[in-house]
Amino acid sequence: MQTCVLLLLAFCFPVMLNALAPEEGGSISLMLGCGLDEGGGKDSEGRQWSPDNKYLSEETNSKTCRSSFQDPSLLSEVPYMTTRIFTSEATYKFPLQPDKRYWLRLHFYPSIYDTFDPFNSYFSVTANDVTLLSNFSASITCQALSQAYLDREYSLAPLNSDTLTLTFKPEKRNGSFAFVNGIELIEMPELFDSAPLVGYSDQTMDAKSLHFQTMFRLNVGGQFISPKDDSGLSRTWYDDTPYLYGASTGVTNQATKDVIINYKTMPQYIAPPNVYSTSRSMGSNKDVNMGFNLTWIFQIDPNSMYLTRLHFCEYYYDKLNEIVFNIYINNQTAETEADVIGWTGAKGVPTYKDYIIYVKNEIGDDQLWLALHPTPTTSPEFFDSLLNGVEVFKLNDTNLSGPNPQPSDMLIEHEEKTKTFQDKHNGKKTFVIGSAAGGAAGFALVAAIVFVVNNQKKKKSPGSYTASNWLPIYGNSHTAGTKSSESGKSVGSGNLSVMAQGLCRYFSLQEMKQATKNFDESNVIGVGGFGKVYKGVIDNGFKVAIKRSNPQSEQGVNEFQTEIEMLSKLRHKHLVSLIGFCEEDDEMCLVYDYMARGTMREHLYKGNKPLDTLSWKQRLEICIGAARGLHYLHTGAKYTIIHRDVKTTNILLDENWVAKVSDFGLSKTGPNMNQGHVSTVVKGSFGYLDPEYFRRQQLTEKSDVYSFGVVLFEALCSRPALTPNLPKEQVSLAEWALYNKRKGTLDDIIDPNIKGQINPESLKKFTDTAEKCVSDFGFERPSMNDLLWNLEFALNMQQNPDGSAHASPLKEDEFEEVSLENNDMTAHYKNLGLGNEHELSHESSSDNTAAIFSQISNSKGR
Ligand SMILES: *[C@@H]1O[C@H](CO)[C@@H](O)[C@H](O)[C@H]1NC(C)=O
Ligand SMILES: *[C@@H]1O[C@H](CO)[C@@H](O)[C@H](O)[C@H]1NC(C)=O
Ligand SMILES: *[C@@H]1O[C@H](CO)[C@@H](O)[C@H](O)[C@H]1NC(C)=O
Ligand SMILES: *[C@@H]1O[C@H](CO)[C@@H](O)[C@H](O)[C@H]1NC(C)=O
Ligand SMILES: *[C@@H]1O[C@H](CO)[C@@H](O)[C@H](O)[C@H]1NC(C)=O
Ligand SMILES: *[C@@H]1O[C@H](CO)[C@@H](O)[C@H](O)[C@H]1NC(C)=O
């Protein structure tokens, strides 16, 4: 027990330990930045990295270099920008405790170093007798993963030696060399024991003596966790969304604040509380849940053993047989009747389960499937399943290396395009970079700089907003003053800023009940993650939509507050307006404009059948309206706001068919102050998600542009973004449309109801634009500005096929002014003391104009 505590302490302070020179017999914790100078350096998390030279063997020939290019995805220079290069076999020697397990992490940034092109670098790495890498190309691996850098993590079983000899050996081929940017060697507790062997009933395998390579480590249903936020073992946990299979991805859950993760006898270093306090489950519909498996798919090397560690914690239910499910790994049953409460005995208590599986070397054996399905036979109370975290490790006693991944043809093609794009636009070829990500980065860097400039212009701490910048406070709204301060207390958390409360009207619960006939079911017009949406009537006849939160969901509270904060600051003709909110007795409601004609989707198709309600011209107008709303979010507000969940059900239509973007519950203000992107948990809807967001978990407004491209194709083809029951190549609308566009067969998939009415020029403009929107790389996609211009052009071609008039986005203002005259909402806002919509929405529109045109001319030049 005592040692356990000591260990824990040791792992809580790796930085401190690192400051001490490792001594014989002491536990060591090394973080070496290869090629760093005497003083070492700090990484983005403030962790100190030391130089590596004193661990190099004397006879070693090596050279230190510095990269001339910092990819924007590198959050700090340390440890990636400097490297040590070996042109012949070389060794490091580290002191070791012979009976302890160690993390060994190797960091690689394949960039050009002096005359060394990482493209030529192939090498092997061994740790004593264990082969970690062979014929390894960091460059190809990064290219295939579409990353700029690579972190490899190994967990070495006790080596029965007091020295670790780490050997780098270049392959025998022309010009080959080995390199490494960072090495971490950290003593760790024994995390592994024996585990059942899947597919062999009652057999277990001892994992204690095996070496591990971490393949995946995911915080299921939760966020990215950085090494610093790990529970002492400096691990990185990623979001699980990119690994989910199919369209049925379940729902994510988060423990409420009052739940304390109680580790009982389990050491906290197994996984941090953040892993256990979020989860993914299937949802609340039994019939739906019985019809699918909640499935994750992982790419792995065949012909090897894998240990899958599943982390569980139930923080909602607390009885046996409430949620009972089966676990399948690679289509074999790993566990039947898994009942988390059965395992832990109480809610809030975490646990984990290990399963070992052998993956053969046959065609198609390069994937690991993990699937969960409710067990019907025990008649559980809810037909659901649950997972909080997953780790996948490759196991071996001598050789952990695998082949280099094969970059897909599509990626290689993109890389070519990227290079030519770069050449054209930079006009110079100072660096030719061997990886797709690195190549893309050349441009991204420019974008990042623009962002920073933008930010500085826009930056203002939220506290420095004053309501009077925006709105007269309250005006004549009779309910305001006292009630809202009361409600401020009732939140308890005090998260809802006074400002936001000042910006919109406060409704009492009584008013909400009156408006909806006591939340009568007959008034329900929709159901979302947040809760039900009701139709209601306020102020003697003014129609509103009332979103009522499900009081149980903590996520609801956050999104509720986000939404109030966001929406109360945003007013625009093409955004659904928030009129007010109610917060009383644990009830939370948001009150919006009522959108008489519902969602865009319900006018395009029903099920998989196209509907004949909208003409091509109407569809164009709706798309343009929605694009204006998004454009305003991206550029018009004080912060750049990324919607994150652009889809046809979030584009609503009022009685005059005016499109308005809704649902900002997921929105993020971005880009973050220090980077050109928001690094965040992937949220949003499948079928609409930006692939770049997957690869890098980085969000930019171009993620919205991608989703909007899918919306454009939806408007053209009248089918859902994802149709899982179609043949594989047709499942995703974006892919299927692109495929047809490139093959020249787009005509075949256009909605037959409108095919005959579309002017060919208009179609061409529209589809070219949609195609650009769904480009793989954000920088290839148009800005919302550019997009708007193109859509206006398409509309113009439809209306004036002879080309007599040209669209101009500058007309937008006139157009809006005119339409405001007839807008009865203006009057209503005045009544509510919310001021005039127009004066609220045009905070900064002129400073984008120059950008519009420069971007248009650029994109035409391609
Ligand atoms: C290695 O490359 C150089 C120059 O590219 C070439 O002259 C030489 O013949 C090559 N050697 C081998 C063994 O391929
Ligand atoms: C270890 O790796 C070797 C070579 O890759 C492979 O043949 C062997 O099956 C692996 N052993 C286990 C236990 O996975
Ligand atoms: C599991 O089964 C699915 C379909 O039933 C199949 O597509 C998939 O390839 C299987 N996975 C493995 C790893 O065998
Ligand atoms: C879930 O996965 C298991 C194992 O691959 C399979 O037998 C079962 O048919 C799947 N169930 C559904 C509904 O897909
Ligand atoms: C280790 O395994 C890899 C891939 O299975 C193989 O190419 C390599 O030759 C092996 N190395 C050793 C030393 O066994
Ligand atoms: C080394 O890796 C490269 C790239 O994956 C591959 O083309 C080559 O055949 C490999 N060489 C050996 C000896 O395995």
The sheet carrying 178-180 orders its strands as 63-66, 82-86, 178-180
Mean pLDDT across the chain: 76
Is the pLDDT at 694 greater than 70? The verdict is no
Q: How far is CA 262 from CA 6, 277, 339, 345, in A?
A: 20, 11, 18, 11
Cα dihedral 178, 179, 185, 188 sign: negative
Of 336-345, 832-841, 844-853, the range with the highest mean pLDDT is 336-345
Please, what is the angle between helix 138-145 and helix 409-426, to 10°? 90
Rounded CA separation 331/336 (Å):
13
Instruction: Identify the residue with better confidence: 99 or 558.
Output: 99
Take residue 393 and report the two structure tokens written for it: 């490790």
Residues with CB under 6 A from ligand 6: 122, 135, 137, 140, 404
Q: Does the CA dihedral 613-617-621-626 come out positive or negative?
A: positive
> For residue 113, what pLDDT is reported?
94
Q: Is 609 annotated as a binding residue?
A: no
Q: pLDDT (tens digit, 9 = 90+) per residue, 490-507?
A: 332 233 443 344 456 778
Ligand nearest to the CA of 405: 6
Under 8 Å CB-to-CB from 615, ≥6 apart: which residues?
Answer: 754, 757
Residues with CB under 6 A from ligand 3: 330-331, 364, 367, 369
Q: Which CATH superfamily is domain 616-798 in?
A: Transferase(Phosphotransferase) domain 1 (1.10.510.10)
**What's CA 421's distance to the chain center, in Å?**
27
Calculate ∠ Cα 631-635-637, nearest 5°. 110
728 burial via Cβ count (<10 Å: 0-12, 13-18, 19+)? exposed
- CA–CA dist 642, 566 (Å, integer): 11
For the stretch 79-115, pLDDT in tens is 999 999 999 999 999 999 999 999 999 999 999 999 9
Q: Is the predicted pLDDT of residue 861 greater than 60, yes or no?
A: no
Ligand 3 pocket test target in 295, 369, 731 with most atoms within 8 Å of CB: 369
pLDDT at 3: 38
Which segments of 492-540 does DSSP mark as H helices, in order? Answer: 498-503, 509-515
Q: Which residues are catalytic?
A: 645
- For 562, 585, 589, the CA distances from 643, given in Å and listed in that order, are 12, 30, 21
User: What percentage of the chain's residues is helix, strand, coil (to nearest 5)?
Assistant: 35, 25, 40
**Quick one: what percent of the chain has pLDDT higher than 90?**
45
Helix 784-799 crosses helix 849-860 at what angle (to 10 degrees)? 70
Q: How confident is the model at residue 567 (pLDDT cuts 50, 70, 90)?
A: low
pLDDT at 211: 97
Residue of 703, 697, 700, 693 whose CA lies nearest to 680: 697
Which residue carries 């701490």 as its tokens?
461
- Is any atom of ligand 4 closer than 6 Å to the C-beta of 328? yes
Q: How confident is the model at residue 554 (pLDDT cuts 50, 70, 90)?
A: low
Whether the per-residue pLDDT at 271 is higher than 60: the answer is yes
pTM of the predicted model, to two decimals? 0.58
- Model confidence at 739, pLDDT cuts 50, 70, 90, reads very high
Instruction: Reply yes or no on whether the pLDDT at 559 is more than 80.
Output: no
Pairing of strands 367-374, 698-699: unpaired
Band of residue 582 on the pLDDT scale cut at 50, 70, 90: confident
| Residues 34-72 pLDDT 10s | 999 999 999 988 899 999 999 999 888 899 999 988 776
Instruction: Pick from 135, 169, 176, 401 the residue to mutate for probing ligand 6's pocket: most ligand atoms within 8 Å of its CB.
Output: 135
Common-topology check for domains 212-396 and 616-798: no
φ and ψ at residue 526, rounded to 5 degrees: -175, 160
pLDDT surpasses 80 at 772: yes
How many beta carbons lie within 10 A of that of residue 692, not counting itself?
A: 24
Q: Are 14 and 234 in contact (CB under 8 A)?
A: yes
- State the average pLDDT over residues 308-337: 95
Dihedral over alpha carbons 39, 42, 43, 46 (to 10 degrees): 160
The predicted pLDDT at position 581 comes to: 82
Report whether residue 304 contacts ligand 2, using a CB cutoff of 6 Å: yes
pLDDT of residue 127: 97
Tokens 């089918």 belong to residue: 719
- Compute, in angstroms, the gap from residue 369 CA to the centroid of ligand 4: 11
User: What spacing in Å lies between the alpha carbon of 400 and ligand 5's midpoint?
Assistant: 8
Q: What is the identity of the amino acid at 665?
A: G
- CA 233, CA 189: separation in Å to the nearest integer? 9
Domain ranges of the chain: 28-188+409-442, 212-396, 616-798
Query: What is the rounded distance in angstroms from the CA atom of residue 652 to the CA atom of residue 635?
Result: 21
Pick the CATH number of 28-188+409-442 from 2.40.50, 2.60.120, 1.10.8, 2.30.130: 2.60.120
Which 8-state DSSP code applies to residue 635?
I
| Tens digit of each residue's pLDDT (9 = 90 or more) over 136-173 | 999 999 877 767 889 999 999 999 999 999 999 999 99
Structure tokens at 362: 């046959």
CA of 172 to the centre of ligand 2 (A): 24
pLDDT in tens, 640-686: 778 888 999 899 999 899 999 987 654 544 433 233 334 344 455 67
Nearest CA to ligand 5 atom 4: 402
Structure tokens at 564: 């109030």
* Packing angle, helices 616-631 and 701-717, rounded to 10: 170
Q: Is the pLDDT of residue 340 over 70?
A: yes
Alpha-carbon separation of residue 170 from 150, 232, 400, 836 (angstroms): 18, 34, 18, 69
Query: What is the Cα–Cα distance from 186 to 17, expressed in whole angstroms?
Result: 10
Q: Which of the residue ranges 100-104, 278-282, 558-562 would you say has the lowest mean pLDDT?
A: 558-562
Q: Among all chains, which residue has been given the structure tokens 């729902």?
A: 251
**Architecture, CATH, for domain 212-396:** Sandwich (2.60)
